[in-house]
Amino acid sequence: ARKQRLFTHSVIVAIDFNDIEWYGEELPFIVKSKAKNGTKSFIRFATIAVVEDGKRFTLKVLPVTPLSATENIVRDLIKYVQNFVSIRVVLLDRGFYSNEVVEQIKNSEEKFVMPAKKTSKVKENIQPAYKNGPMEYTMSKGATYTLMVVKDEDNDKLLPYATNMNNVASSVVHELYKSR
């Protein structure tokens, strides 16, 4: 991508899981998930894509099996992309929220934003983080991040985000995440 001069500036990337329904026999690479279109079996891929100006440009796709460690997939995708582009921020959905993934992204030295899972401990901190501003949050296994809370304009719900972008407003983090 860099050789072709497609991205001469730092870019926003999103990491996602993509599932394709599987109706065949059970095979070692098939993952189980919430039922969709009459099946709980899926072929899963992890992707990392540049997401800017309402467009997606996929940079890498990896297969995911039941034995795949999510934090290793995140590491491999980021490491690959770092060879071609300068990453401004990595966006992930709530499904990636774990101690291991937060540590892995911090180890990559990239900025990240993802919705925080509303665990009982996160729920306790939503109001204080909304009223008093971003706060440092420690997950149950020790990973730390900045908890930012934004009020959704559409329904007045408070939305918690996990990030390591400490010098930006919560509203900026929310807008960045919505761009994915």
What is the mean pLDDT of the segment spanning 167-177?
88
What is the mean pLDDT of the segment spanning 77-89?
94
What is the mean pLDDT of the segment spanning 91-116?
95
Two tokens, residue 173 = 């983090």
pLDDT of 145 > 90? The answer is yes
Task: Please tell me the predicted confidence (pLDDT) of residue 90.
Answer: 98
Distance linking the first and last C-alpha atoms of the chain: 20
What is the mean pLDDT of the segment spanning 95-110?
95
* pLDDT tens digits for range 15-55: 999 999 999 999 999 999 999 999 999 999 999 999 988 89
Q: What is the CATH number of domain 11-178?
A: 3.30.420
pTM beyond 0.75: yes
In whole angstroms, what is the distance from residue 34 CA to residue 14 CA?
Answer: 22
- The residue ranges of every structural domain in the chain are 11-178
Task: Please tell me the predicted confidence (pLDDT) of residue 3.
Answer: 52
Q: What pairs with residue 49 in β-bridges?
A: 14, 58
pLDDT band at 14 (very low <50, low <70, confident <90, very high): very high
Antiparallel, parallel or unpaired: β 158-163 and 31-36:
unpaired
Task: Please tell me the predicted confidence (pLDDT) of residue 155.
Answer: 87
Task: Please tell me the predicted confidence (pLDDT) of residue 6.
Answer: 61
Stronger pLDDT, 9 or 144, i.e. the higher one = 144
What is the mean pLDDT of the segment spanning 161-166?
94
